[in-house]
Amino acid sequence: MARFRPFRGIRYNPEKVGSLDAVVAPPYDVISAAERDALYDAGEYNATRLILNRDGHGEAAKLFRAWQTDGALEPDAGPCFYLYSQDFDVDGPRQRTGVIGALHLEPFSTGVVRPHERTFSHHKTDRLALTSETKANLSPIFGLYSNADFHPEPDDGWDSPADLDVTFSGVRSRLWVVRNPARIAEISAAVEGRTIFIADGHHRYETALNYFGVARPDGELLPEGGPTDEEEPAAHVMAFLGAFEDPGMLILPTHRQVERSRGADWKAYTKLVEEQFKVTRLPFDAEGRKQLEDALERSTPETNAFGLAIKGSDELLLIEKPAAVRINGDSPLASLDVTVLHSTLIDKLLANAGAPEPEITYSADTDEVLDRVAAGKLEAVFVMRATLSDQLADACMAGDLMPQKSTYFFPKLLTGLVFHTLER
């Protein structure tokens, strides 16, 4: 069963660091070199100096300790949960709410915590090095569970002022420290016995498992009960847990950008696609873009649907085919857009058109990727639909792993709201 526990968080002291807007940052894996420079310039206490330090993980660890010594970071008086709400606008105002706490680690083999995406070994190696130096979880993983009947609230209600209130990239983030024992018990009980699906932070969760193995080589992740976070923090990972049923739980599509194909014959590729898919040609202008986006939005899960824009072409391609019919025992992945994209459109057909190893990058911004193709800065882009939450859950429950970057939960969780020490 899932065990979700309060922990003694370490938080910024505004009297020492000044505006908290200047200390928060997005997750490390979405920060470009230019963005890191901008975040560094935002202030001497910006969390980017911890999660993506220019001078390495050793320097990050020195800063983390120094900031605690000089009072820039302070521990809470006792174990707490941290209610985290984000207000944002996507087709109208939205709000997503969840709780940051200490999630007891579970090997994937128990089925209590389930991944949905493959991970990259080099990211896990890098994050383990950082964790070993700082002995802390600096950013929360993002987990989902199902419980439509539970709605967490601040100790003094939603009208009470938040302990932290910042705005970053147009998203307002508020954090309430939950200290009331009754509220704490309610949160733990709401998650107990639930399956936790990792929405974002696969590398960080696997890093936490690896860190426990290094820090406690003779330790054991007990299947029931087990130590609290105070007794064994390394057996836990800082996690934001939200409910599938939250109306603000938004998944955006992750488009595939072909930075360099390394030899694709795009005319030949288009012919190969037309042999296996229905292709509708649209003008590569404002009206055509709208038609493409509307068509993708209207299409149902029973159809695989993609857009394709190619550098130098005055057309956009709408690519469709009936999705594979799932029979009992079949993997739920077979019918997903991301599976068909990688197995057929990229790994097979693009390889047959002369590009077996294209350089692929990712973006959730539809207008931006199409603009980049139009400007000749990309060879091509595959415009995707969003993976649905029930598709994610089906894959997790089947024990299947989607290709990397199959989901993009928006907005990203901020780093710098609270930190979780791994030292007793």
What's the CATH code of the domain at 365?
A: 3.30.1760
Number of domains in the chain: 2
What share of the chain has pLDDT > 90, as a percent?
80
Higher pLDDT, 88 or 325: 88
Residues 367 and 244 in one domain: no
Residues 10 and 144 in one domain: yes
318-340 pLDDT per residue, tens: 999 999 876 666 777 888 999 99
Instruction: Mean pLDDT check: name the lowest of 97-111, 137-151, 211-225.
Output: 211-225
Position 255 confidence tier, pLDDT thresholds 50, 70, 90: very high
Position 359 confidence tier, pLDDT thresholds 50, 70, 90: very high
28-80 pLDDT per residue, tens: 988 988 999 999 999 999 999 999 999 999 999 999 999 999 999 999 999 99
Residues 279 and 239 in one domain: no
Q: What pLDDT is attached to residue 287?
A: 97
Q: What pLDDT is attached to residue 327?
A: 62
Is 269 contained in some domain?
A: yes
Residues 308 and 241 in one domain: no
What number is the average pLDDT over the span 261-282? Answer: 97
What number is the average pLDDT over the span 262-278? Answer: 97
Q: What pLDDT is attached to residue 73?
A: 98
Kindly report the average pLDDT of the chain as a whole number. Answer: 93
Residues 338 and 317 in one domain: yes
What CA–CA distances, in Å, run from 46 to 28, 176, 227, 240, 420?
12, 21, 33, 21, 17
Is 396 contained in some domain?
A: no
Is 393 contained in some domain?
A: no
Residues 221 and 265 in one domain: no
pTM of the model: 0.89
Buried b (16+ CB within 10 A) or exposed e, 202-235: bbbbbbbbbbbeebeeeeebeeeebbbbeebbbb
Is 398 contained in some domain?
A: no
Is 180 contained in some domain?
A: yes
Query: Per-residue pLDDT for 118 more than 90?
Result: no
Residues 57 and 187 in one domain: yes
Residues 182 and 271 in one domain: no
Query: Per-residue pLDDT for 127 more than 80?
Result: yes
What number is the average pLDDT over the span 296-307? Answer: 95
What number is the average pLDDT over the span 343-368? Answer: 95
Is 330 contained in some domain?
A: yes
Greatest Cα pair distance in the chain: 66
Residues 326 and 226 in one domain: no
Q: What pLDDT is attached to residue 329?
A: 60
Is 401 contained in some domain?
A: no
Residues 39 and 129 in one domain: yes
Q: What pLDDT is attached to residue 191?
A: 95
Residues 160 and 275 in one domain: no
Q: Which residues span the domain enclosing 354?
A: 254-385
Is 134 contained in some domain?
A: yes
Residues 314 and 416 in one domain: no
